[in-house]
Chains A and B, each alone.
Chain A
Amino acid sequence: MRLSHLIAGAVAALAMAAPATAQETVAIVGGRILTGTSVIENGTVVLRDGKIVSVGAGAAPAGARIIDAAGKVVAPGFVAVDSGLAGTEVGSVRGTNELRNNANTLSAAFDVSYGLDPWSFTLPVARLGGVTRAIVTPQHPGSSGGHVHEEDTAGAGDGGYQTPGLFAGQAAIINLAQGTDILVKPRVAMVAPFGEAGAAVAGGARGAQFVLFKETLAEVRLYARNKSAYERAGLRDLSLSRADLEALIPVADGTLPLIVTVHRASDIRQVLRLAREEGIKIILDGAEEGWLVAGDIAAAGAPVLLNPIANLPNDFEMRAARMENAAALDAAGVVIAIKGNEGSTHRAREARYNAGNAVSHGLPYASAIAALTVNPARIFGMAGQFGQIAPGAAGDVVVWSGDPLEPLSQPSAVFVNGVEQPLTSRPLLLRDRYRQQTPMPPAYRN
């Protein structure tokens, strides 16, 4: 064991023993600072009361706890999008999955925020990948968390489940601070599958889904205008429950964004038209063929949540998938956020590698960093509140040994809401248990 490791371990142990508090003032000095929108060489970031107080070339304030970041890179904590963090523990154990609703009496009203577990062992693992916030998103058959290891689960996994409604439910924002109420904001977006998965919900064809979708919005608006008539049973029968109708009112009036999972270029165009006609606000999710209609997406002002390494024609709605999708959308002026892998839960930490691959396929480095930080905050209405190193933003800061997009870089300090987090996790406990040799079995090494 190298000395540096011993020191890192000791620091982690200290952090565990006496958790840093948001009240202390911390100054991270000497690092290369990626603010999310710019780069500051040899800068200083000051954290106090859970927030970033200042960033720039200035000296550390007197009395501050100094974190030496010389030779290191300081970046905003990453924001996982389309994530299942805290919403599931073991993918195949249905009882641990709080991201899927199969009831046919409730769809849009499904609210993931009630099922999120701050003690989930997925959170410390993601934190070690620099993730400090997540947009936890309901899953549906077309979502990136909806198909996991089809080969490895021998074609008998749970990729084939069906959601009964047009809407998968509502997403929530969490932070990844240990030992806190992680919920930042519930019900920040509605989720709906389009394309093949959406068509399947409606009966098999896209033409059915779009008509059903428009009819549903019409019912929501009818309900919203006639609530008192509805309450005294003076309104015609509506297909959705009252809870679903209520949940959809902010979608219909364009205040709550709708995350539309969609892959095919032609479907993207149809969805953009639908949004325009209905006056709803959308966020595209997936959009593997988005580069073919990048101009349309940019003109509509629709942001995109994407995985830049999706380059195979997995099915007939992704035949144009390309590694350059992220670069093309960014070049067209689309605001993009980069996802981790497989529902960004256990593999949320790989978002930084995905961003690096987007860079090697043409995405400017600054755009890649933005796609992990400021962009997701902007997309979900939290601009300035987190996802960047700027005065007034939450104190979510990660100190990296080098370029955070490189696998060979590791975080040396992680702050969430200004509080330094322990660099521990269940996998690291397993690692350390099995690295030792003792006369007693590993079970005694705690």
Chain B
Amino acid sequence: MIGHHLRGVSLAAVTCAVAGAALGLSACATTGQTSSDPASSDPAPRPSRDMTLATGLDPSKTLDPYPSTYQPLPRENFALVGATVLTGADSKIDNGVVVVADGRIAAVGDASTPVPTGYRVIDARGRYVTPGVIDVHSHLGVYPSPGVQGMSDGNEATNPNTAQVWAEHSLWPQDPGFNTARAGGVTTMHILPGSANLFGGRGVTIRNVPSITMQGMKFPNAPYTVKMACGENPSRVYGSRNQSPATGMGNMAGYRAAFIAARDYKAKWDKWRETGEGAPPTRNLQNETLAGVLDGSILIQNHCYRADEMAMMMDMADEFGYRISAFHHATEAYKLAPQLARAGICAAMWTGWWGFKMEALDAIEENAALVDAQAGSCAVIHSDDPELTQRLNQEAAAALSAGRRAGLNISEEHAIGWFTSNAAKAIGIADQTGSLTPGLRADVVIWSADPFSIYARADQVFIDGALAFDRTDPAYQPTSDFELGQPGYGLTAANINEGAR
């Protein structure tokens, strides 16, 4: 809720302001950067004694300790003309024009939309233009290729609550999967820890650009998220070790105990900030993440398959006073679609996956369409898979097809939102990207054909207005360091030279 109300403000500043309000902090700078001189920008009354803590001990000073160093790739101003434009905002424009200036969408309209002089004009006649694909559930970089033990960094399966770990600290930027995903139109990814734990740790949102460092991919000012997991995985992993949780009821007890501890932690900091009495509380990264959930600055991304379990998670959110942003996998979301829509919770789903375990038994292809049919809903198509992420448009096409088979009247310009604008909403970046709306980041894909066709390929992919992939130009087909000199490197198969891998 808080995130929604404050949307539009710089998110780093929002995070700081929210955390500051909730924790009663005195050192929260309005610039969004941590400040070495609290007095210079401190609007709040301060206790008389010096409460300065060393960096690293004071949560308020370390809200963004591994900051984004992302810089857009070289870019120019341009206009895409002649394409069928699916804006991601429920509209379709035939023979449309999309104008991009300084990395932002400047204008979207029909053929009469003026193109400023000096802008490069890209002929997209006969092709389709959409917002960049957003995958809200990826393990690229943390479960990279090659999937060997030394690179398996996605599950800190050592304790049911590892809210203190951050996926960004496991992320290997050289995962070749980032390149193949980009060739499938993916411009933004939300990288999550795995689902072994009740609290798997923080997720990180990235710009899908090649980078030497994680920080170079990190989406500037995107809110942090935390991965929670319902169901079979945590109870199987820990139950098999004769440890709690071993059951669904153990899962619930584990979440509740964690939020009780987080409430307590937050109260101690609040009190110390207020009174300045005694020694400051010891910083605890686990509780700090969950305190961020309680104050609304960290968004819950909850792996949860079954309708009955989602309903309990919703009650638990009320019990402790926080909000769930999205249920992931949500194979039974269609059984609870009205409740999800009323609560404003997104459901991130597959179309074709089912039956691989008991909690996936009732998955149906129509899940997204039935969730979507509710007013105020937020249906998202996600991958959780390095191959599927390359084809979220096809997964959405299968979902659309199933919906139409069920007699639902769903347009393509609406369904495109399942992996663009709704996905952005689920991870709290809809004010940044996800649709072709003036002012937003120019994350744009030119498709060779209707993206709901199996034959469509991403011809060109722009991230922040910069060409990041071009299927017809080897100069824009990046490879990771890992790929250099490997078997097959530099060779083309079937005399086809188009696109990475």
On A, residues with C-beta under 8 Å from B are 1-2, 4-5, 89-93, 122, 125, 148-156, 264-265, 289, 291-292, 309-316, 319-325, 327-328, 331, 341-342, 345-347, 349-350, 353, 356-357, 359-362, 405-410, 427-428, 430-431, 434-435, 442
- From the candidates B146, B157, B401, B456, name the one contacting A155 in the complex (CB within 8 A): B157
- Residues of chain A with a CB closer than 8 A to B145's CB: 312-314
Q: In this complex, what residue of B is CB-closest to A265?
A: B487
- Residues of chain B with a CB closer than 8 A to A292's CB: 487-488, 491
Q: Distance in Å from the Cβ of A93 to the closest Cβ of chain B?
A: 7
Task: List 5 A-B residue pairs with CB atoms under 8 Å apart, sorted by A's residue number.
Answer: A148-B356, A154-B234, A325-B493, A357-B391, A407-B452
Instruction: Please measure, in the bound complex, the distance between the C-alpha atom of A226 and the C-alpha atom of B338, giving whole angstroms.
Output: 72
Interface centre among B355, B363, B455 (most CB of A within 10 A): B355
- Residues of chain B with a CB closer than 8 A to A156's CB: 157, 196, 233, 236-237, 240
Cβ of B208 < 8 Å from any Cβ of A?
Answer: no
Which of B72-80, B163-171, B364-372 lies at the interface?
B364-372
Cβ B456 vs Cβ A90 within 8 A: no
- Residues of chain B with a CB closer than 8 A to A328's CB: 493-494
Instruction: Please measure, in the bound complex, the distance between the C-alpha atom of A311 and the C-alpha atom of B493, giving whole angstroms.
Output: 12
Instruction: Give chain B interface residues in 451-480, CB to chain A under 8 Å.
Output: 452-457
Q: In this complex, what residue of B is CB-closest to A432?
A: B406
- Residues of chain B with a CB closer than 8 A to A91's CB: 355-357
Cβ of B143 < 8 Å from any Cβ of A?
Answer: yes
Which of B39-47, B85-93, B147-155 lies at the interface?
B147-155
Cβ A311 vs Cβ B407 within 8 A: no
What string of 1s and 0s marks CB contacts (under 8 Å) between B359-386 and chain A? 0011111100010000000000000111
- Residues of chain A with a CB closer than 8 A to B366's CB: 431
Cβ B407 vs Cβ A5 within 8 A: yes
Instruction: Please measure, in the bound complex, the distance between the C-alpha atom of A409 and the C-alpha atom of B455, giving whole angstroms.
Output: 13
Instruction: Please measure, in the bound complex, the distance between the C-alpha atom of A388 and the C-alpha atom of B401, giving whole angstroms.
Output: 26
- Residues of chain B with a CB closer than 8 A to A5's CB: 405-407
Q: A314-B146, A315-B146, A322-B488 are in contact. Are A353 and B357 (CB under 8 A)?
A: no
List 10 tightest A-B contacts by C-beta distance, closest first.
Answer: A320-B488, A356-B454, A324-B493, A154-B196, A5-B407, A328-B494, A327-B494, A91-B356, A92-B357, A407-B397
- Residues of chain B with a CB closer than 8 A to A310's CB: 387
- Residues of chain B with a CB closer than 8 A to A331's CB: 494-495
Instruction: Please measure, in the bound complex, the distance between the C-alpha atom of A160 and the C-alpha atom of B148, giving whole angstroms.
Output: 13
Cβ A90 vs Cβ B494 within 8 A: no
Q: In this complex, what residue of B is CB-closest to A356?
A: B454
Q: Distance in Å from the Cβ of B419 to the closest Cβ of chain A?
A: 14
- Residues of chain B with a CB closer than 8 A to A321's CB: 501
- Residues of chain B with a CB closer than 8 A to A291's CB: 488, 493-494
- Which secondary structure characterizes the binding site on chain A? loop
- Residues of chain A with a CB closer than 8 A to B157's CB: 154-156
Instruction: Please measure, in the bound complex, the distance between the C-alpha atom of A125 and the C-alpha atom of B400, giving whole angstroms.
Output: 17
Q: In this complex, what residue of A is CB-closest to B148?
A: A315
Q: A2-B407, A89-B355, A360-B457 are in contact. Are A319 and B488 (CB under 8 A)?
A: yes
Cβ of B398 < 8 Å from any Cβ of A?
Answer: yes
What string of 1s and 0s marks CB contacts (under 8 Å) between B229-240 and chain A? 100111011001
Q: In this complex, what residue of A is CB-closest to B361?
A: A90
Cβ of B207 < 8 Å from any Cβ of A?
Answer: no
Cβ A155 vs Cβ B196 within 8 A: yes
Instruction: Please measure, in the bound complex, the distance between the C-alpha atom of A125 and the C-alpha atom of B229, giving whole angstroms.
Output: 28
Known: A328-B493, A407-B394, A427-B363. 6 other contacts (CB 8 A): A92-B358, A154-B233, A315-B148, A322-B501, A357-B394, A360-B456
- Residues of chain A with a CB closer than 8 A to B203's CB: none
Q: Distance in Å from the Cβ of B405 to the closest Cβ of chain A?
A: 5
Cβ B147 vs Cβ A314 within 8 A: yes
- From the candidates B176, B237, B364, B495, name the one contacting A430 in the complex (CB within 8 A): B364
Cβ B488 vs Cβ A311 within 8 A: no
Cβ A435 vs Cβ B358 within 8 A: no
Cβ A151 vs Cβ B352 within 8 A: no
Cβ of B263 < 8 Å from any Cβ of A?
Answer: no
- Residues of chain B with a CB closer than 8 A to A347's CB: 352-353
Q: Distance in Å from the Cβ of B484 to the closest Cβ of chain A?
A: 11
Q: A312-B501, A320-B486 are in contact. Are A434 and B496 (CB under 8 A)?
A: no
Cβ A153 vs Cβ B357 within 8 A: yes
Cβ A353 vs Cβ B398 within 8 A: yes
Interface centre among B157, B232, B237, B501 (most CB of A within 10 A): B501
Q: In this complex, what residue of B is CB-closest to A149?
A: B356
Cβ B493 vs Cβ A327 within 8 A: yes
Cβ of B194 < 8 Å from any Cβ of A?
Answer: yes
Cβ B194 vs Cβ A151 within 8 A: yes
- Residues of chain B with a CB closer than 8 A to A323's CB: 499, 501
Interface centre among A313, A408, A431 (most CB of B within 10 A): A313
Cβ B454 vs Cβ A406 within 8 A: yes
- Residues of chain A with a CB closer than 8 A to B361's CB: 90
Q: A5-B406, A314-B147, A353-B454 are in contact. Are A155 and B152 (CB under 8 A)?
A: yes
Instruction: Please measure, in the bound complex, the distance between the C-alpha atom of A312 and the C-alpha atom of B144, giving whole angstroms.
Output: 10
Q: A154-B155, A319-B487 are in contact. Are A407 and B407 (CB under 8 A)?
A: no
What string of 1s and 0s marks CB contacts (under 8 Å) between B241-279 and chain A? 000000000000000000000000000000000000000
- From the candidates A309, A346, A409, name the one contacting B356 in the complex (CB within 8 A): A346
Instruction: Please measure, in the bound complex, the distance between the C-alpha atom of A427 and the C-alpha atom of B358, giving whole angstroms.
Output: 14
Instruction: Please measure, in the bound complex, the distance between the C-alpha atom of A259 and the C-alpha atom of B495, giving whole angstroms.
Output: 28
Cβ of B119 < 8 Å from any Cβ of A?
Answer: no
Q: A151-B143, A430-B362 are in contact. Are A408 and B401 (CB under 8 A)?
A: yes
Instruction: Please measure, in the bound complex, the distance between the C-alpha atom of A125 and the C-alpha atom of B351, giving whole angstroms.
Output: 13
Instruction: Please measure, in the bound complex, the distance between the C-alpha atom of A149 and the C-alpha atom of B362, giving whole angstroms.
Output: 17
Instruction: Give chain B interface residues in 191-220, CB to chain A under 8 Å.
Output: 194-196
Q: In this complex, what residue of B is CB-closest to A316?
A: B146
Cβ A315 vs Cβ B147 within 8 A: yes
Instruction: Please measure, in the bound complex, the distance between the C-alpha atom of A90 and the C-alpha atom of B354, giving whole angstroms.
Output: 9
Q: Distance in Å from the Cβ of B84 to the closest Cβ of chain A?
A: 16
- Residues of chain B with a CB closer than 8 A to A315's CB: 146-148
- Residues of chain A with a CB closer than 8 A to B155's CB: 154-155
- From the candidates A125, A313, A342, A427, name the one contacting B146 in the complex (CB within 8 A): A313
- Residues of chain B with a CB closer than 8 A to A92's CB: 232, 356-358
Cβ of B287 < 8 Å from any Cβ of A?
Answer: no
Q: In this complex, what residue of B is CB-closest to A359?
A: B455
- Residues of chain B with a CB closer than 8 A to A122's CB: 355
Q: Distance in Å from the Cβ of B453 to the closest Cβ of chain A?
A: 6
- Residues of chain A with a CB closer than 8 A to B390's CB: 309, 311
Cβ of B139 < 8 Å from any Cβ of A?
Answer: yes
Cβ of B320 < 8 Å from any Cβ of A?
Answer: no
Cβ of B66 < 8 Å from any Cβ of A?
Answer: no
Cβ of B131 < 8 Å from any Cβ of A?
Answer: no
Q: Distance in Å from the Cβ of B334 to the closest Cβ of chain A?
A: 5
Q: Distance in Å from the Cβ of B145 to the closest Cβ of chain A?
A: 5
Q: Distance in Å from the Cβ of A302 to the closest Cβ of chain B?
A: 18
Q: Distance in Å from the Cβ of B352 to the closest Cβ of chain A?
A: 6
- From the candidates A149, A361, A407, name the one contacting B398 in the complex (CB within 8 A): A407
Cβ A346 vs Cβ B401 within 8 A: no
Q: In this complex, what residue of B is CB-closest to A92?
A: B357
- From the candidates A125, A322, A346, A353, name the one contacting B493 in the complex (CB within 8 A): A322
Instruction: Please measure, in the bound complex, the distance between the C-alpha atom of A1 and the C-alpha atom of B353, giving whole angstroms.
Output: 26
Cβ B195 vs Cβ A152 within 8 A: yes
- From the candidates A289, A327, A405, A435, name the one contacting B487 in the complex (CB within 8 A): A289
Cβ of B180 < 8 Å from any Cβ of A?
Answer: yes
Interface centre among B139, B329, B493 (most CB of A within 10 A): B493
Q: A350-B352, A357-B454 are in contact. Are A155 and B488 (CB under 8 A)?
A: no
Cβ A362 vs Cβ B384 within 8 A: no
- From the candidates A1, A327, A427, name the one contacting B364 in the complex (CB within 8 A): A427
Instruction: Please measure, in the bound complex, the distance between the C-alpha atom of A341 and the C-alpha atom of B155, giving whole angstroms.
Output: 25
Cβ B454 vs Cβ A154 within 8 A: no
Q: A292-B488, A407-B398 are in contact. Are A151 and B405 (CB under 8 A)?
A: no
- Residues of chain B with a CB closer than 8 A to A427's CB: 354, 362-365
Cβ B195 vs Cβ A405 within 8 A: no
Cβ B387 vs Cβ A312 within 8 A: yes
Instruction: Please measure, in the bound complex, the distance between the C-alpha atom of A409 and the C-alpha atom of B397, giving whole angstroms.
Output: 10
